[in-house]
Amino acid sequence: MLKNRQIMSRMLIKPAAATVSAALQQQQQRQQQQYVIRRWKSFLQNNSNNNGSRRAAKASTSTSAAAAAATSQRHGQSGDFIQPLDARRSFSTSHKMPTSSKSLKLDNINPNFIAMEYAVRGPLVIRAGEIEKELEKGAKKPFDQVIRANIGDCHAMGQQPLTFLRQLMALTFETRLLDSPDYPEDVKKRACAILDGCQGQSVGSYTDSAGLEVVRRQVAKYIEKRDGGIACDWQNIYLTGGASPGIKSILSMVNSEVDCKAPGVMVPIPQYPLYSATISEYGMTKVDYYLEEETGWSLGRKELQRSFDEAKKTCNPRALVVINPGNPTGQVLTRENIEEIIKFAHENKVLLLADEVYQDNVYDKDSKFWSFKKVAYEMGEPYRSLELCSFLSTSKGYLGECGIRGGYMEVLNLDPKVKAMLTKSITAALCSTTAGQVAVSALVNPPQPGEPSYELFKKERDGILAALKERAELVHKTLSSFEGYKVNPVQGAMYVFPQIEIPPKAVEAAKAKGMAPDVFYAFELLETSGICIVPGSGFGQKPGTWHFRSTILPQTDKLKLMMEKFRVFHADFMKKYK
């Protein structure tokens, strides 16, 4: 049959921070939203001035500088947590937008679009791109390259793609290669199965909105194997363009007032900025709960309840987000911790969102990944019937195929009528990309022992995971030796999130520039050494503490170079500001 196809030719913190009331949190969020809107208006105002005549630009300089100074005084203390859109530009909050003939203006578009921020691609990254262009033009810097440690983009940091996945994509997208002797028969067999599931036997056709049935069935078998035989219904699987669209679809679904209260979403602090950005975009309320840094970023039941009870005064918490292994914190939750979270979700009737995209990235010998589905099932009723949505992506793990945009979500125990509405909403987007669906197939249906592709697949996969483990240990050991650093071990995921003590003199220097201290530290690091990280402000942190997130993804040689540059910078920084 395969031959015939070839002939035919055809992806806790302890409640110290908990003293902040829900009302105060909401007030801070509103203030931040209003400030961000003003900053964006000012940003565009400045750009408009720059595009005008030199005389007009000069005339506006003194006004803009004065307004920026006033802004710095207003936000230097209470607004330290806000990152500037561009630390090298002044922002005016006093003058109006210029008259425009455009029908769409900042004053008449959805304000949530303006309030939304995504720290991982924020001002530091913009500046890093500018520096790269400056270096290309021959600018003299104290470094010759920018090391982008700000985002979990594996291939951008030198990781090589798995041969098996790329071969599967090649065969499904260029079917004439099925006749080539250069491709293993087990990969050809998998490609033919995918093509048989496509309309017209072509990945260029639309798929079902939830994805190709053949791939969804493969996902179900993968989950059953992962969870020790617990049944998985393929009809609960939705293929998505990475994990993010699935997460956003679920948050959009719960975005409804109940008892005249706005919907709230409980998120860990620190958290992945996708959640805060989406919550802002949808006009929902972010409900913070704090991870316990002193105990390896664990999650306490008492803190969850504190956060929930406080939020109930002003909103209606409807969903609980848990990231395991953690981003940006790199912790792996224990089974006991997961059981407590499940009990909390059941007793408080909140939908549980389990972000499990790093489940293959566990490095600590004493840690183990437990899926929320498996633990809830083994706890028995009533927890087995918990409403639960879990997510996985081809962007992380050992594949690292960020740009292909493949992922899935499993939706459990929803009311059938609600599930029908979710499916309907997804239908409006037609389907996720077939490239991403093929990548998901490669993730969940890899070569097995005895198949032609298995030995190479195993070698490449194990090599990637071993290198990540080595880098996790290297980063933890190196940063732990720095003065004023507190670093938890990187148990899993792809990041380290150290706490740093910033000297008072540096804090004052940061305030003078209208920056949060960790933002100031990160900009100094970038301009001095070419290393791009993300300040802890972008993820949230316990008041009075400062952190940053760095990936462990640069290849080992470059990571060693990065750590040495970091060491030199930090020593000089402490000498300058201590």
For 445-459, what is each residue's pLDDT tens digit?
A: 999 999 999 999 999
The crossing angle, in degrees rounded to 10, of helices 185-196 and 163-173 is 50
Q: pLDDT class for 344, splitting at 50, 70, 90?
A: very high
In a domain, residue 104? The reply is no
165: left (phi over 0), alpha (psi -120 to 50) or beta: alpha
Q: Which domain covers residue 564, as residue numbers?
A: 120-146+456-577
Examine the pLDDT at 372 and tell me if it is beyond 50. Answer: yes
In a domain, residue 416? The reply is yes
CA 246/CA 329 separation, integer angstroms: 22
Same domain flag for 346 and 208 = yes
Mean pLDDT of 109-136: 76
Are residues 97 and 496 in contact, defined by beta-carbon separation less than 8 angstroms? no
CA 540/CA 450 separation, integer angstroms: 48
Look at residues 431, 533, 503, 391 and name the one whose alpha carbon lies nearest to residue 197.
431
Q: pLDDT class for 10, splitting at 50, 70, 90?
A: very low
Same domain flag for 255 and 176 = yes
Same domain flag for 255 and 170 = yes
Q: For 85-89, 330-334, 569-573, which range has the lowest pLDDT when averaged over its residues?
A: 85-89
pLDDT at 280: 85
CA 182/CA 167 separation, integer angstroms: 10
Please write the tens of the pLDDT for every residue from 508-537: 999 998 888 999 999 999 999 999 999 888
Examine the pLDDT at 41 and tell me if it is beyond 70. Answer: no
In a domain, residue 157? The reply is no
Q: pLDDT class for 116, splitting at 50, 70, 90?
A: low
Residue tagged 């003194």 (tokens): 62
Q: For 90-104, 295-309, 315-329, 445-459, which range has the lowest pLDDT when averaged over its residues?
A: 90-104
In a domain, residue 223? The reply is yes
In a domain, residue 415? The reply is yes
Q: Where among 420, 445, 470 does a domain terminate?
A: 445
Mean pLDDT of 392-414: 93
Q: 435 Cβ partners below 8 Å, 6+ apart?
A: 11, 169, 173, 203, 404, 405, 406
CA 457/CA 464 separation, integer angstroms: 11
DSSP 8-state symbol, 385: G
Q: 405 Cβ partners below 8 Å, 6+ apart?
A: 11, 241, 242, 395, 432, 433, 435, 436
CA 390/CA 380 separation, integer angstroms: 19
Beta-strand ranges (E) seen in 71-191 are 147-148
Same domain flag for 344 and 396 = yes
Q: Please count the other Cβ atoms lying within 10 Å of the Cβ belonging to residue 369.
A: 17
And the tokens for 452?
Answer: 């032609």
As beta bridge partners, residue 411 has 389
Same domain flag for 388 and 534 = no
Task: Report the CATH number that the domain containing residue 537 is assigned in CATH.
Answer: 3.90.1150.10
In a domain, residue 79? The reply is no
Mean pLDDT of 38-59: 45
Q: Per the structure, how many domains does the chain have?
A: 2
Are residues 94 and 38 in contact, defined by beta-carbon separation less than 8 angstroms? no
Q: 519 Cβ partners below 8 Å, 6+ apart?
A: 83, 84, 87, 124, 510, 535, 537
Same domain flag for 344 and 463 = no
CA 89/CA 47 separation, integer angstroms: 10
Examine the pLDDT at 69 and tell me if it is beyond 50. Answer: no
CA 255/CA 264 separation, integer angstroms: 8
**Total residues belonging to the chain:** 578
Q: pLDDT class for 118, splitting at 50, 70, 90?
A: low
- What's the pTM? 0.80
Examine the pLDDT at 150 and tell me if it is beyond 70. Answer: yes
Q: Where among 445, 470, 487 does a domain terminate?
A: 445
Are residues 384 and 376 in contact, defined by beta-carbon separation less than 8 angstroms? yes
Look at residues 398, 431, 105, 438 and name the one whose alpha carbon lies nearest to residue 245.
431
Same domain flag for 181 and 303 = yes
In a domain, residue 417? The reply is yes
Same domain flag for 214 and 344 = yes
Look at residues 461, 445, 459, 464 and name the one whose alpha carbon lies nearest to residue 186.
445
Q: For 50-59, 66-75, 406-415, 486-495, which range has the lowest pLDDT when averaged over its residues?
A: 66-75
Q: Where among 394, 417, 445 does a domain terminate?
A: 445
DSSP-based three-state secondary structure for 109? coil
Q: pLDDT class for 73, splitting at 50, 70, 90?
A: very low
Start-to-end CA span in the chain (Å): 74
Q: Please count the other Cβ atoms lying within 10 Å of the Cβ belonging to residue 487.
A: 20
